[in-house]
């Protein structure tokens, strides 16, 4: 699971570990990886390893895959979760450097990680699963978040096209699409709003944000973890190229 020491990625990794999977977790910072491995190994019986690395660097992706294969023998599930928000999201103001950075992390890394894992699966005759994490911003044609949204639109297309090519080898490629999920990143944003609006706590702001969703609450990392477990299970054995929207209805809003 790439990008998995915190937030949605951590929730996905914990859901897998809770259900008996051996899990390789990843993030850029070695200290974060070490801390997450220690915590998860204390909580779950599976084999949890950590591999620091920046997914914008192809060499780090290669090391991640090689280390996981050395530790577990085989890989039968990849979750491409690592992503970033660009420094400048406006399609007018964003620079070419902003474009390259967000596309390398959010799109190129998913392609290359999936390619390496698929090659491994094909070589070993493994009919495994590759699941990309995308966002409801990839469905939108307006509403800001231009560069980030464009990267997620690309992930959607990548998912469909990889699904078609990989299916002939028995490898199922799907995606889960998120909306606002209660993570440390979102809580930090709420804290920033609370500083300007001291009458409301960060918790109040998160509750208010959740109330604007059709289902009336924010998503939780476990919601994404449950979706991953389904798509990776035999119950989903005839599902390929699907973007499962785990958004509480947020994807239906304008």
The position carrying tokens 């307006």 is 142
**Hey, which residues are catalytic here?**
148
Q: Are residues 69 and 126 in contact, defined by beta-carbon separation less than 8 angstroms?
A: no
Average pLDDT over the chain reads: 92
Helical segments of the chain, H only: 7-18, 30-43, 58-72, 96-103, 109-124, 146-167, 184-196, 202-211, 221-231
pLDDT mean over 107-126: 98
Structure tokens of 78? 């990849």
Structure tokens of 105? 């992390």
Query: Where is pLDDT greater, at 159 or 199?
Result: 159
Is the CA virtual torsion 157, 162, 163, 165 positive or negative?
Answer: positive
CB atoms within 10 A of CB 203: 12
| DSSP 3-state of 139 | helix
How do residues 183-231 score in pLDDT, each as one tens digit?
A: 777 777 888 888 888 888 888 888 888 888 888 888 888 999 999 999 9
pTM above 0.85, yes or no: yes
| DSSP 3-state of 18 | helix
CB atoms within 10 A of CB 52: 18
pLDDT mean over 116-128: 98
CB atoms within 10 A of CB 32: 18
Top-ranked range on mean pLDDT: pick from 14-18, 179-183, 199-203: 14-18
How do residues 80-113 score in pLDDT, each as one tens digit?
A: 999 998 887 888 899 999 999 999 999 999 999 9
DSSP tag of 200:
S
What is the reported pLDDT for 215?
A: 84
CA-CA distance, 104 to 58, in Å (whole number)? 9
CA-CA distance, 117 to 72, in Å (whole number)? 13
């Amino acid at each position: 699971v790439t990008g998995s020491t915190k937030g949605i990625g951590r929730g996905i990794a914990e859901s897998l570990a809770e259900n008996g999977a051996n899990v390789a977790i990843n993030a850029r910072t070695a200290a974060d990886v070490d801390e997450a491995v220690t915590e998860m190994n204390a909580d779950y019986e599976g084999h949890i390893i950590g591999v620091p690395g920046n997914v914008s660097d192809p060499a780090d992706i290669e090391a991640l895959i090689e280390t996981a294969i050395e530790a577990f023998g085989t890989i039968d599930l990849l979750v491409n979760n690592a992503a970033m928000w660009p420094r400048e999201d406006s399609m007018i103001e964003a620079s070419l450097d902003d474009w390259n950075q967000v596309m390398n992390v959010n799109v190129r890394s998913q392609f290359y990680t999936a390619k390496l894992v698929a090659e491994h699966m094909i070589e070993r005759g493994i009919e495994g699963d590759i699941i990309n994490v995308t966002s409801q911003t990839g469905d939108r044609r307006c509403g800001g978040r231009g560069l980030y949204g464009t990267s997620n639109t690309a992930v959607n297309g990548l998912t469909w096209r990889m699904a078609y090519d990989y299916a002939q080898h028995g490898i199922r490629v799907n995606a889960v699409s998120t909306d606002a999920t209660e993570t440390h990143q979102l809580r930090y944003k709420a804290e920033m709003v609370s500083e300007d609006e001291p009458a409301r706590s960060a918790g109040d702001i998160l509750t208010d944000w959740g109330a604007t969703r059709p289902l009336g609450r924010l998503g939780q990392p476990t919601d994404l973890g449950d979706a991953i477990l389904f798509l990776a299970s035999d119950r989903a054995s005839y599902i390929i190229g699907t973007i499962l929207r785990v958004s509480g209805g947020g994807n239906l809003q304008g």
